[in-house]
Amino acid sequence: MDFKQRITQLRTELNEHNHKYYVLNNPTISDQEFDSLMHELEVLEREHPELDDPYSPTHRVGSDLSQGFEQWNHKRRMLSLGNTYSVAEVEEYVRRCKDGLGGEDFQTVGEMKFDGTSISLHYEHGRLVRAVTRGDGEKGDVVTLNVITIRSIPLELKGTGWPEEFEIRGEIVLPWKEFDRLNAEREFNEEPLFANPRNAASGTIKMQNSAEVARRGLDAYFYYLLGDNLPFDNHYDNMMAAKEWGFKVSESMTLLHSIEDVVEFISHWDTARKQLPVATDGLVFKVNSLRQQLNLGFTAKSPRWAIAYKFQAERALTELKYVSFETGRSGVITPVANLEPVLLSGTIVKRASLHNEDIIRALDIHDHDMVYVEKGGEIIPKITGVNIESRSTTAQRVKFVSHCPACGTPLIRVDGEAAWVCPNRWGCVPQITGRVEHFVGRKMMNIDGIGEETVETLYNRGLISDISSLYHLRAEDLSTLEGWGERSAERVLQGIEQSKQVPFERVVYALSIPFVGETVARRVARAVGNIDALMSMPVEQLTAIEDVGPRIAQSIVEYFGDERNRTIVEKLRNAGVQMAMSEKSNAGRTDILAGKSLVISGTFALHSRDEYKEMIELNGGKNVGSISKKTDYLLAGDNMGPAKLEKATKLGIPIISEQQFLEMIAKTTE
């Protein structure tokens, strides 16, 4: 056997042994035998560098060279899942799916929800070509060199039958034993301990040193296969195929045939999960059929065909040390319970939001009470009760502040709202700096290098007074800051310059218009086209935009009714910030459906309901949820609701098929 054949053979054998050890938990050779084969391969590769392969088992140890991360746009958005916290809510999800499918039966797949960090792997011709983090759902960081070090991830696929090109998504986790080992090391070295395995995994995969990533002992489980030529038309069989190709798929993945099966699945894993080698925070239920998934579609944030069930939160009893009051960027005052530190769901909890005055009154909290703390969805700490028996007879009831804790302005309470607000929008420092922090955020203008402390420093030094001031910063302003140098200053200035290319819809979100979140900002920007139209639009026209109700519309009008906000917008415009939808964003837009309202009902074969909604908006139309005299068309699919069909027929509303709808748009485009 020549050296080429031996190198190929050794790589194949070592990959197989890695799979047996890290995926199947069933090693067939000793560690000493494995190390001997690895050593032989290392020697041969050193002697024949022309045969080097970056995916050789010898490269699993990573590199200690620093690396930057490029960003990659996801071909298919990586969305989060909607959450449920009771069996009744899961049953309601099942009912919604059945209604959305027009009464059609469906199978459910039950899975474990691992508590780690999401990853998307891309394979071509059986080899890993790219690993991308979730990022903001639209794009993420390419972390391929770090992912290569995770030994349970196949770099080259086993078996046959995989598509030439596909994507598989999963969760990178840090097993409990590795978490404990790393924290023991850090404690010995007097370094800060990791709070929980999730945070440790998330931080590790973004490290610049892949050799350190390899040392951490990350693992990965996979739960969703995507591509144009998948082997099966259902989720479960595709994942079983992925398992044969070498991916680590949880043994908990189960095909469920009834709601009784779902309930039993929840009951079993509520206890059994505590014996797993990795952290979990719930279960996931998915519609099995890919066709039915397509028909159910997505909301703005999550798929309608999947839901997460969160396990009952852990509860702990600890002492309330004091309540502090904090002012947010919108002026809302939030009371925060500062607690005697307590371990809860793997993390040390020291603070918990009390949300508003009504919550404080409902809990009847007194100074130094012993309070019950839970983590909502095992993530956000919250106070759920008070142990009154342990209360001191001299304890005083906690009172909500009457003046802003930051600027001393008397607070006001908006009619119908639970929150107290500081009205000093232009003179209250936390509001001013909070708006700047929001503006530079990743989902907004994405200006790297400016965090909370930097914003406060810049403001205190008089270098910024509002969001538009960022575009007047100079290198000499930044390089004099403590801990900064030319390189740090240059990075921030580059980020500010690059932010001038951020699309208009993100600019609208970045402006901190009260009640205008990411989705509403996108809807508004696409509907109005430019900032001048938005600034002059009355409430009546704004409420005609999808997802914009009277409260949001009034907030937009009031925002632009303030001359100071209009001045800031003009300064941003003069700095070069995008104040209109780009030609690229408007590409393919028509007005064929301008002024038309359409109702979508039933299931479809060619596109999902969400895709049809997007097409309607792209062509100037409006999606509405119910049929009325003002409805212009009913876009009807299979299994549509009989009530809608009857009402449309009675009102004489044209009923069109998806083929007719597509032809309507195609003619206009031509």
CATH number at residue 633: 3.40.50.10190
- Using DSSP's 3-state secondary structure scheme, residue 149 falls into coil
The predicted pLDDT at position 62 comes to: 53
137 and 252 in a single domain? The answer is: yes
**65 has pLDDT over 50:** no
- Nearest Cα to 419, choosing from 333, 360, 352? 333
Instruction: Return the CATH number at 319.
Output: 2.40.50.140
**Which of 61, 94, 110 is where one domain is finished?**
61
The predicted pLDDT at position 669 comes to: 44
* pLDDT band at 40; cut points 50, 70, 90: confident
pLDDT winner (highest mean) among 17-31, 49-63, 467-481: 467-481
Residue 75 placed within a domain = no
Residue 47 placed within a domain = yes
402 and 292 in a single domain? The answer is: no
403 and 440 in a single domain? The answer is: no
138 and 218 in a single domain? The answer is: yes
**Which of 363, 387, 413 is where one domain is finished?**
413
- State the chain's mean pLDDT as an integer: 88
Reported as a single tens digit per residue, the pLDDT across 262-306 is 999 999 998 888 788 998 889 999 999 999 999 999 876 789 999
Asked if 667 is an active-site residue, the reply is no
Question: CA–CA separation, 239 vs 253, rounded Å?
Answer: 9
Q: How many domains does the chain have?
A: 6
Reported as a single tens digit per residue, the pLDDT across 619-665 is 878 877 778 888 999 999 876 767 788 889 999 999 999 889 998 88
* pLDDT band at 608; cut points 50, 70, 90: confident
Q: 438-452, 476-490, 533-547: lowest mean pLDDT where?
A: 476-490
* pLDDT band at 668; cut points 50, 70, 90: very low
- Residues 6+ away with beta carbon under 8 Å from 265: 110, 254, 256, 283
The predicted pLDDT at position 242 comes to: 97
Instruction: Return the CATH number at 14.
Output: 1.10.287.610
| Cα 330 to chain centroid, rounded | 23
Interval 513-536 mean pLDDT: 90
Under 8 Å between Cβ of 535 and 569: yes
157 and 289 in a single domain? The answer is: yes
Tokens representing 528 are 């109005």
**378 has pLDDT over 50:** no
**375 has pLDDT over 90:** no
Reported as a single tens digit per residue, the pLDDT across 231-258 is 999 999 999 999 999 999 999 999 999 9
The catalytic residue among 113, 310, 375, 613 is: 113
The predicted pLDDT at position 667 comes to: 57
**35 has pLDDT over 80:** no
**Which of 532, 557, 586 is where one domain is finished?**
586
Under 8 Å between Cβ of 250 and 223: yes
In which element (H, E) is residue 204 found? helix 197-205
User: Please, how many CA atoms are within 13 Å of residue 295, restricted to the half-sphere of its CB?
Assistant: 27
Instruction: Return the CATH number at 446.
Output: 1.10.150.20
| φ and ψ at residue 467, rounded to 5 degrees | -65, -30
Q: Give the range of the structural domain holding residue 168, as residue numbers without chain letter.
A: 83-310
The predicted pLDDT at position 190 comes to: 59
Under 8 Å between Cβ of 177 and 165: no
The predicted pLDDT at position 670 comes to: 42
Residue 423 placed within a domain = no
The predicted pLDDT at position 494 comes to: 92
* pLDDT band at 609; cut points 50, 70, 90: confident
pTM of the model: 0.55
Residue 68 placed within a domain = no
Whole-number Cα distances in Å, 36 to 32, 150, 180: 6, 21, 29
Instruction: Return the CATH number at 242.
Output: 3.30.470.30
Report the 10 Å Cβ neighbour count for 390: 12
